[in-house]
Structure 1
Amino acid sequence: MTDPDTTRAQPEADSRARSLYFTAPGTVAVRSRPVPEPGPEEVRVRTTASAISAGTEGLLYRGEAPTDLPADEELEAFDGDLSFPLRYGYAAVGEVTAVGANVAEKWLERTVFAYNAHESQFVAEPETLLPVPDGVPPREATLFANLETAVTFLLDGEPRLGERVTVFGQGTVGLLTTALLARTPLETLVAFEPDENRRQRAERFGADRALDPADDDVSEAFREIAGDRADLSYELSGDPDALNDAVATTGFDGRVLVGSWYGTKSATLDLGGRFHRDRIEIRSSQVSTIDPRLSGRWSRERRHDLTWEWLQRLEVAPLLTHEVPLEDAGEAYELLEERPDEAIQVVLTYE
């Protein structure tokens, strides 16, 4: 705790900070604590909105995340593992309301993005925060982490001129990945997604076709559209069974990029057919790190800059389908778990 005289701050409307906790499978709780005071090298942020990661947080909510796995070793806001009770979330946008004695006053009142858990007020070191560019609404800025993930998928997948590409799963990250892929010089881009509304959104974002994977043999359906199998397939659905479909859809010397995190769910793969002879490559991709092959030219700062640029270029507002006050967060997770077809991106609000 710092001496109040050394902290420059706005008056605080809330006397208590509120944090969301995953407390048991299917259960979340909002707990309060004193408003944190920034240390000499820190700032305090009052959160405006934070985006729920339906994939990762869905695993936490269902108790399907490996409890011995570190929360995220690359992000300073997280410590410990994924066991209950757990604070989580990594897409918060808010306003800096106090700065420590050794922090430049220019940070005060700045709108920032933070890889921080769902909570109404928190402290952080300025270098861990990303100033939100002028003209980006706070609600849309909560999509930064999802879009950064999509940017990473393109960097890792390396879609090439004239390639045939498919994307399995059109949640928020899948749709953003489709939108970026549609702006590369591909020959064919096909999305597979069970939900009709998301299929329609995928085609508006630029997919040549968006199909229900339950309707037909996905490999045959893709070849009817593209004339051959895919050069590159993305598995972003969160469903381990979809990985077999992605492999089946991919052609000779093709790449399958797995962006899904399955948690404790196992994937049973059929690798006894074409997979071996067709030299199909399966690779994982995840946003916490940069592919070592790119790290000489790409830094997190460069990737951040590119993500902000595309956040302003893409029409992302239609993805924000629901806003739920933090106090009603349980309803938000029930919506995503029980009626996922009704929502794309759910945002928690803190007014």
Structure 2
Amino acid sequence: MPHIVQFTSPGRVELVENDPAPLTGGSVRVATWYSGISAGTELTAFRGTNPYLTSTWDAERRLFVPGEPSFAYPVQGWGYSEVGQVVEVGDGVDSLAVGDIVHGIWGHRSDAVLPAAAVATRKLPADVDPVLGTFARVASIALNAVLAADVRLGEQVAIFGQGVIGLLATRLATLSGGRVLAVDTQASRLASATTFGAAETIDALRPGGAGELVRELTGGGADSAIELSGTDRALHEAVRSVVVEGLVAASGFYQGGAANLRLGEEFHHNRVRIVASQISGVPVALGGRWDQPRLVRTVMGLILSGAVDAGALVSDVVDAAEVADVFARLDAGDPGILQAVLRFDAAPERAR
């Protein structure tokens, strides 16, 4: 019987059985090998803070409004960083064959039936570590943030939050020619930021705030900043860190209010621009040339070539049955966990 990760209620997540989906024409069945956990997004489901769980998303008006939540517990199928092997091919499919290894988005589940077109361009070479495929989405989020911050050769960019996506953004901004100042509260993550190309590292908890030190180290302010921690305090410091009319890409998934974001201070007096970066769309100015498939192609090309060492970010590969323990550690802020990956039973022994 296939299994799927289920958020049963706030603070409770488990692996449960679910019925297999029927194979249809034009689709393939994939046996999941690995599924990466996106801590920021998925902790909102674990904690019950995601707005979809507390209000109604009016898709036509694009507003959250009071009413029945768009999603209610138990919630199944979250997760967007999967890798698996094609084990069955439906009628009319000639772009994939049994045995192909693909990456894509189908949630933390052991068995998935997908349109062949959704994964036909997402094959992984047989000679690479399949876990690398779990980084396609998170690396795309990082690249989207770098594009939103308009990082250019010779410019200085402060990146707040050096979790998985922040570290990927640090590497991608460095590859783009930017000089990165990495900000975080954890010394281990700042050390990783140096490895990923950061020219300077800054303790977010320093007296006076990180923004003040960024301004000192850059001789007047960073050209742009990327905020990926998802905290309003960090967003405020990002605003403080940039030059007059500087750009801040707000890329974190912020929850609740923003008492620490004081818009009457540096934001107002330095005429700072704040733009939202979210993976459902690319920056408007790039819309004619960039889209989500191009983001994926770009980051996977860099990862598979070794230009971005995504494998170094994997701290935990655990059996899917241990999902509750992983989320307990993430919820507690365990500094020893970075990228956690769930391993399903179909994963080959040589990769286990």
TM-score w.r.t. length of structure 2: 0.88
Deviation at 1:338, TM superposition (A): 1.3
The answer for the alignment partner of 1:127 in structure 2 is 117
RMSD of aligned Cα (Å): 2.0
Aligned AA (1:103): V
Q: Is the 8 A contact 1:163 1:231 kept in 2?
A: yes
Report which stretch shifted further, 23-32 or 304-313: 304-313
Aligned CA distance change for structure 1 residues 23 and 267 (closer, same or farther; 3 Å)? farther
The answer for the alignment partner of 2:153 in structure 1 is 161
Q: Is the 8 A contact 1:43 1:126 kept in 2?
A: yes
Aligned AA (2:49): E
Aligned pairs for 1:1-351 within 5 A: 16-66=1-51, 67=53, 68=55, 81-87=70-76, 88-104=78-94, 106-129=96-119, 130-134=121-125, 135-186=127-178, 188-217=179-208, 218-266=210-258, 268-312=260-304, 313-351=307-345
Aligned AA (1:341): P
Structure 2 SS opposite 1:286 = coil
Report which stretch shifted further, 43-52 or 82-91: 82-91
Residue ranges of structure 1 left out of the alignment (5+ in a row): 1-15, 74-79
Please give the alpha-carbon distance, in whole angstroms, between the structure 1 residues aligned to 2:198 and 2:100.
37
Deviation at 1:246, TM superposition (A): 0.7
Deviation at 1:72, TM superposition (A): 10
Q: Is the 8 A contact 1:254 1:280 kept in 2?
A: yes
The number of residue pairs the alignment matches comes to 329
Deviation at 1:131, TM superposition (A): 2.2
Deviation at 1:93, TM superposition (A): 0.4
Aligned AA (2:200): R
Please give the alpha-carbon distance, in whole angstroms, between the structure 1 residues aligned to 2:138 and 2:342.
15
Aligned CA distance change for structure 1 residues 278 and 127 (closer, same or farther; 3 Å)? same
Aligned AA (1:99): V
Q: Is the 8 A contact 1:21 1:28 kept in 2?
A: yes
Structure 1 SS opposite 2:34 = strand
TM-score w.r.t. length of structure 1: 0.89
Please give the alpha-carbon distance, in whole angstroms, between the structure 2 residues aligned to 1:17 and 1:172.
29
Deviation at 1:269, TM superposition (A): 1.9
Residue ranges of structure 2 left out of the alignment (5+ in a row): 61-68, 346-352
Please give the alpha-carbon distance, in whole angstroms, between the structure 2 residues aligned to 1:145 and 1:231.
27
Aligned CA distance change for structure 1 residues 286 and 96 (closer, same or farther; 3 Å)? same
Aligned CA distance change for structure 1 residues 265 and 121 (closer, same or farther; 3 Å)? farther
Residues 168-198 of structure 1: CA deviation (Å, up to 9, x unaligned)? 0001000000011112223x32111111111
